[in-house]
Structure 1
Amino acid sequence: MGSKPAKDQTRRVEKRGDTPKAPDRAERPLFARDEIARVLEARDRWTQEELAEALARLPRRKAAFQTDSGIPIPDVIDPAHLREHDFLRDVGYPGAYPFTRGPQPTMYRGRLWTMRQFAGFGTPADTNRRFKYLLEHGVNGLSTAFDMPALMGYDADHPMSRGEVGKEGVAISTLEDFEILFDGIPLGDVTTSMTINATAVIALAMYVAVAEKQGVPRARLGGTLQADMLKEYIAQKEWMIPPTPAVRIVCDMIEFCAKEMPRWNPVSISGYHIREAGATALQELAFTLADGIEYVQECVDRGMDVDAFAPRLSFFWDVHNDLFEEVAKFRAARRIWARTMKERFGAKKRESLLLRTHAQTAGVSLTAQQPYNNVVRVALQAFAAVLGGTQSLHTNSLDETYALPTEEAVTVALRTQQIIAHESGADRVIDPLAGSYYVEYLTDEMERRAIEYLRRIDDMGGMLRAVEEGYPQREIAESAYRWQRDVESNDRLVVGVNAFQAREEQQIPLLRIDETVAREQVERLKALKGRRSAARVAEALAGVERAAREGTNVVPPVIEAVKAYATLGEIADTFRKVHGTYREDGRF
């Protein structure tokens, strides 16, 4: 279905801005030269004596001693590995540039991370009840999943929606659905995260319209849109138009929110789906930052002041099982982003330099075999996110390899966060792994290797061009292949899958979506179309088409369209009419 973008929609290849550089690590070393010499001498002696003797008795296991991203792990790490480290330049203090140790001086001593749980299934009324259940059980931020038709820009009654309505998230076709979804939930008092990308501008418009009906002004609304289209073309593959106009709409949302919704995060630059597609932690780090750099560059190119919008950009990371590498990823990400915003874009506000982070435990790491093992995986991953300094966290449920989670499974996932927050002691100390030779070594290596990726992408002309050329897609496909090959050859053990299998599969309760959901949604949509003003809808959609063709900001006319009860599918079709559709050519 669809076609490649027209030639005039393909951006020219050019190098835009300077790639961030790894710091010159020879200015003010943390350790004195004579101290390093003494350590190296002791290390050589240890290697030749204690280690050699131990290996003679018991040789190393045949495992590869490297991180999941392939970063080699030496036999022992000591101050000599950090010989050119400058504490103030590279590590520093929480809330101080380059924010390696966290964006806030007090971190969790001042405020715990926001605990979110994904919710969204069935009808808007079903999800509204789940929202209220979660709020009653201690969640302090809503996180909304939408079904596949909504994500792809189709209404519940479209032939492409058959069998998918309400199955993967909540079914949404019109503003009426949003009114039901948030009924009884004061939008001025909660923050809402919405996992939606291709049709994110429509979801934003509906949220604004519902808030107005509640009497809540736009300036009071707090929350986050995912809206990250670059990672869709890289990894998740849910789009309605070609990359260049899709990125333009993302920048329209950034511009609109900077002016009218100062508490709203208009885009959550997402490494999560990049990682779920098979990327390593290093690739997730590099490609996500490259996406963020591309959005900033596009906004600057349209004449926006970087300090007017950068403070509201946010990031969304996956968290896997390699605990120390995950911690290092968070620390390196903050450092690279701060330096990039300051040195490349000339940002002056402190808030513009901050990489603010939401994290989610790794859905792809969960196994259908022995599903209760997933509770342990999620706890390990959540702890890594907290040690890494996330500001917001979602913990997956043990049953998500089978279906959308049950209330019982969601409660266990939420209690996991609450136990970490209130019983582990992790909230009492800021960046507790700072100064660990291993973690500092990994942070430096993640930074250096990520910058190599960023330089390569800049040489291609930026991330949009790299995506159009299929570069990150190929890199991720190769990593996914290597991972699966290692599992199948038993070079990588996954408990319950290719090691420590159980003779009998465990049975767990599952949430099942009744087929009446689709009928109910279609009937309500049909009734709404019979009540609304067709003339008002046509006029509003003409306004959306005009803005899309002329290149003016599309957010205001989309808000007017949803207020007229134009459907999500009708608005999406308007964008497809102007920009055409898109199909990958499948190069690897």
Structure 2
Amino acid sequence: MNEARGVPRKPIYTQADLADVPWLDARPGDYPFLRGIHATMYAQRPWTIRQYAGYADAAASNLAYRRALERGAKGLSVAFDLPTHRGYDSDHVCAGADVGMAGVAIDSVEDMKRLLDGVPLNDVSVSMTMSGAVLPVLAAFIVAAQEAGYDAAQLRGTIQNDILKEFMARNAYIFAPEPSMRIATDVVHYLLANMPRFNAMSISGYHLHEAGADGVLELALTLANARAYVQRLVEEGADVERVCEQLSFFFAVGPDFFGEIAKLRAARVLWAESMRSAGVGSARAMQLRMHCQTAGSSLHAESAHNNVVRTTVEAMAAVFGGTQSLHTNAWDEALSLPGEAAATLARDTQLILQHEMGLCDVVDPWGGSYLIESLTARMVNAVKATLAEIEAQGGVIAAIEAGWVQARLHRGAVKTQAQIDTGERVVVGVNRYREAHTAQHARPEIDAHRVRAKQIEHLRQLKSTRDAQRVHIALDALTQCARTGEGNLLAATIEAIRARASIGECTAALERVWPRWHAGLSALTSAAHVYAGARECDAVWQAARDAVSRWRAVHGRKPRMALVKVGQDGHDRGARVVAAALGDAGFDVRLGPLFATPREAADWACVYEPDIVGISTLAGAHAALVPALIGALRERGCNAPVVLGGIVPEAHRDSLFACGVLKLFGPDTPIDRITLGLMDILNEAATVPKGCCAS
């Protein structure tokens, strides 16, 4: 059996494989909703095309949204920039180069009004991927809609509001877990009471998949998080059926075509069974409604046009799995921020599937399939077993605090990288069937300095024209709400935002009670030897290890590498995988703290006295952050060579080399090649006196 995809499978399935499979007679729209939550599914209404987008400032993103609606989109999905996710205004010292780079910058309700200008909120649903700064961002949306003349009770959409997954994977948190849970549940309580058509929480498995989870672990952790939220809300007095009616889910759809179809079908069964056992009676409360996105981790920089095919097949799996809405990734996202032509093709992919391929004609065409029905049942059982493991840890919050969840995700990511590097997992154009060509790519450029200057000017205007006393009173009331536990945090934040407090000021008001939560980007020992174990008979890998061993024999110790991320990007999968694999190769790797400024990262690295400094970058702010970090290192007397890994457009490479980067490793670089590249640099630097950092 092939176990590479999470649930074992075999080459042929027959009717005998259905002998112990329940629900074979289930119909679409009926419990346990295996075949879809609606009786007619896409035959009556296709899934919603909901492309996740946002960049630069609100005016630029608004133009993109209005064009998307004109060209067939049925809903909006807002991507916010990293400072907004982390509750910083654009003028904050920690925002710096990240403003507008990986999403739209929103500093106040005025920005939100610019973002939504001309969008018919009575007809269009708006999804917002926001968990950390959910209070001020959602408050800004509500106030902007009300001031545009819309009744909040009639607004449709979704706020992600899933803070537990941030502690597991994406790291876009602000406060510690306990106050974060209070924020999340206060949001749900407010929306239940005031906005019954708005999904109060979208529990996300997508980021868990991207962090290294296979389908079973993604589904188990997502459902465990959902149960934790529901339990907390019920304990606080909420009606369980009302809560479940305003929840939705968000899943990744990766390259395991059959497995992903089974995963989405299994998700509905598991949620329906779980909620029925919790006393839920209404069909809507037991229905798992989902949004899906094709997997960013399946996109590759080498032969990047092949990503069009990958995304198309993943989109088909999402459709066959019964998703309610879908985002398809642009083929060029492994190279840089997506270009307009690539984003249009991604959107058109869905339109073609809806209108040209007949996918909407039949409800659940895989129903009764020997393979899919058997695989779905196996998926259900495997997820239940993993849920039992989570409960054995004391529940999902305890499992997060103990590091159990992060360790499982990390091991999965390292294992996947090893399978790609060895060729066990074939990636066409990357580790097999390689062609000597580079995809032509019209790369979008965002002038971060211009965007930030514009945002700072908007903030200046806002603060010069508002009633300062009214703002002070509203922010103080928000602080008191957090301190005393009395009142609803979202209601208090709405009043502050209505008074023209900024996103950052609202966050700062909460920080007076709850300091920012800081977690280190520490290497996880649970992944030690996972990479090496997968390549123990590999001659190329052994040659890389031998190169490290020779250096160690000469110097009497392991080569030391300080590996850092700079700025507000919390996506740490790549850095953790590289650290674990280089550790297996014989390096002594230390991982720096998340969300560091260049100066903070340089201070940390110099204490470690590294032989080489590595920078991991994914969010597009490298052009400003990398030179600043190198300058800060040199100011402190650290002359260690600097290398860079991540998504860096070709046009930026010369300037990065000019500022001091010695080598750049793209996202498809095998670990053995990284190891040998590092050893080349270290051997060339052998004449540099040791102890290169100032004391």
Alignment of 1:189-200 (within 5 A): 189-200=123-134
**Letter of the aligned partner of 2:263 in structure 1?**
K
**Letter of the aligned partner of 1:583 in structure 2?**
H
**Which of the residues 551, 566, 570 maps onto 2:501?**
566
Instruction: Name the structure 1 match of 2:43.
Output: 109
CA distance in 2, matches of 1:505, 1:134: 29
Does residue 1:203 correspond to 2:137, yes or no? yes
* CA distances 1:35-71 after superposition (whole Å, capped 9, x unpaired): xxxxxxxxxxxxxxxxxxxxxxxxxxxxx723511x2
How far is the alpha carbon of 1:91 from its aligned partner?
5.4
* CA distances 1:398-447 after superposition (whole Å, capped 9, x unpaired): 11122222221111111110111112111011111111111111101111
**Which of the residues 74, 90, 100 maps onto 1:166?**
100
Query: Aligned pair in 2 of structure 1 residues 91, 409: CA closer, same or farther (>3 Å)?
Result: farther
How far is the alpha carbon of 1:74 from its aligned partner?
2.3
- Residues 121 and 404, structure 1, Cα contact 8 Å, conserved in 2: no
Instruction: Name the structure 1 match of 2:516.
Output: 581
Alignment of 1:89-238 (within 5 A): 89=23, 92-238=26-172
How far is the alpha carbon of 1:368 from its aligned partner?
1.1
Instruction: Name the structure 2 match of 1:523.
Output: 457
Alignment of 1:243-282 (within 5 A): 243-282=177-216
**Letter of the aligned partner of 1:313 in structure 2?**
L
- Residues 67 and 73, structure 1, Cα contact 8 Å, conserved in 2: no
SS in 1 for 2:364: coil
SS in 1 for 2:128: strand
**Which of the residues 2, 21, 30 maps onto 1:85?**
21
**Letter of the aligned partner of 2:46 in structure 1?**
L
SS in 2 for 1:170: coil
**Letter of the aligned partner of 1:100 in structure 2?**
L
Instruction: Name the structure 2 match of 1:338.
Output: 272
How far is the alpha carbon of 1:500 from its aligned partner?
1.6
Which segments of structure 1 move beyond 6 Å, counting only runs of 4 or more? none
SS in 2 for 1:314: strand
SS in 2 for 1:523: helix
How far is the alpha carbon of 1:81 from its aligned partner?
2.0
Does residue 1:301 correspond to 2:235, yes or no? yes
Query: Aligned pair in 2 of structure 1 residues 91, 153: CA closer, same or farther (>3 Å)?
Result: farther
- Residues 58 and 114, structure 2, Cα contact 8 Å, conserved in 1: yes
SS in 2 for 1:160: coil
SS in 1 for 2:252: strand
Alignment of 1:50-89 (within 5 A): 65-69=2-6, 71-86=7-22, 89=23
Instruction: Name the structure 1 match of 2:345.
Output: 412
How far is the alpha carbon of 1:566 from its aligned partner?
0.8
Task: Give the aligned CA root-mean-square deviation in angstroms.
Answer: 1.3
Q: Give structure 2 stretches of 5+ with no counterpart.
A: 527-695
Query: Aligned pair in 2 of structure 1 residues 91, 358: CA closer, same or farther (>3 Å)?
Result: farther
Instruction: Name the structure 2 match of 1:470.
Output: 403
- Residues 399 and 409, structure 1, Cα contact 8 Å, conserved in 2: yes
**Letter of the aligned partner of 1:429 in structure 2?**
V
Query: Aligned pair in 2 of structure 1 residues 67, 324: CA closer, same or farther (>3 Å)?
Result: farther
CA distance in 2, matches of 1:553, 1:445: 43
How far is the alpha carbon of 1:197 from its aligned partner?
1.1
Which segment drifts farther, 382-391 or 493-502? Answer: 493-502
**Letter of the aligned partner of 1:464 in structure 2?**
I
Alignment of 1:383-398 (within 5 A): 383-398=316-331
CA distance in 2, matches of 1:286, 1:309: 20
How far is the alpha carbon of 1:105 from its aligned partner?
0.7
**Which of the residues 301, 315, 332 maps onto 2:249?**
315
CA distance in 2, matches of 1:516, 1:208: 28
Query: Aligned pair in 2 of structure 1 residues 90, 205: CA closer, same or farther (>3 Å)?
Result: farther
**Which of the residues 418, 422, 427 maps onto 2:355?**
422
**Which of the residues 403, 416, 429 maps onto 1:496?**
429
**Which of the residues 250, 253, 262 maps onto 1:328?**
262
**Letter of the aligned partner of 2:507 in structure 1?**
A
TM-score, normalised via structure 2 length = 0.74
SS in 1 for 2:326: strand
**Which of the residues 371, 374, 392 maps onto 1:459?**
392
How far is the alpha carbon of 1:474 from its aligned partner?
0.7
- Residues 403 and 512, structure 1, Cα contact 8 Å, conserved in 2: no
- Residues 90 and 98, structure 1, Cα contact 8 Å, conserved in 2: no
CA distance in 1, matches of 2:392, 2:100: 43
**Which of the residues 444, 459, 467 maps onto 1:511?**
444
How far is the alpha carbon of 1:576 from its aligned partner?
2.1
* CA distances 1:437-459 after superposition (whole Å, capped 9, x unpaired): 11111101111010111112223
SS in 2 for 1:435: coil
- Residues 24 and 368, structure 2, Cα contact 8 Å, conserved in 1: no
CA distance in 2, matches of 1:506, 1:142: 29
* CA distances 1:469-527 after superposition (whole Å, capped 9, x unpaired): 11111101001011001111111111111112221222210111013111111111122
Instruction: Name the structure 2 match of 1:51.
Output: none
- Residues 230 and 243, structure 1, Cα contact 8 Å, conserved in 2: yes
Does residue 1:374 correspond to 2:311, yes or no? no
Query: Aligned pair in 2 of structure 1 residues 105, 489: CA closer, same or farther (>3 Å)?
Result: same
SS in 2 for 1:428: coil
**Letter of the aligned partner of 2:329 in structure 1?**
N
CA distance in 1, matches of 2:156, 2:439: 41
CA distance in 2, matches of 1:549, 1:461: 28
- Residues 90 and 100, structure 1, Cα contact 8 Å, conserved in 2: no
CA distance in 2, matches of 1:473, 1:158: 30
- Residues 252 and 554, structure 1, Cα contact 8 Å, conserved in 2: yes
Instruction: Name the structure 2 match of 1:38.
Output: none
CA distance in 1, matches of 2:24, 2:479: 49
CA distance in 1, matches of 2:395, 2:479: 29
Which segment drifts farther, 460-469 or 239-248? Answer: 460-469
Instruction: Name the structure 2 match of 1:365.
Output: 298
| Identity of matched residues, % | 41
* CA distances 1:231-290 after superposition (whole Å, capped 9, x unpaired): 000000111100111111111111111111011011110000111111111111111111
- Count of equivalent residues: 521
SS in 2 for 1:93: coil
CA distance in 2, matches of 1:578, 1:91: 55
**Letter of the aligned partner of 2:66 in structure 1?**
K
**Letter of the aligned partner of 1:574 in structure 2?**
A
CA distance in 2, matches of 1:453, 1:535: 53
Query: Aligned pair in 2 of structure 1 residues 452, 134: CA closer, same or farther (>3 Å)?
Result: same
**Letter of the aligned partner of 2:10 in structure 1?**
P
Which segment drifts farther, 400-409 or 557-566? Answer: 400-409
Structure with larger RCO (C-alpha < 8 A, sep 6+):
1
Q: Give structure 1 stretches of 5+ with no counterpart.
A: 1-63
**Letter of the aligned partner of 1:453 in structure 2?**
T
TM-score, normalised via structure 1 length = 0.87
- Residues 67 and 322, structure 1, Cα contact 8 Å, conserved in 2: no
CA distance in 2, matches of 1:315, 1:543: 33
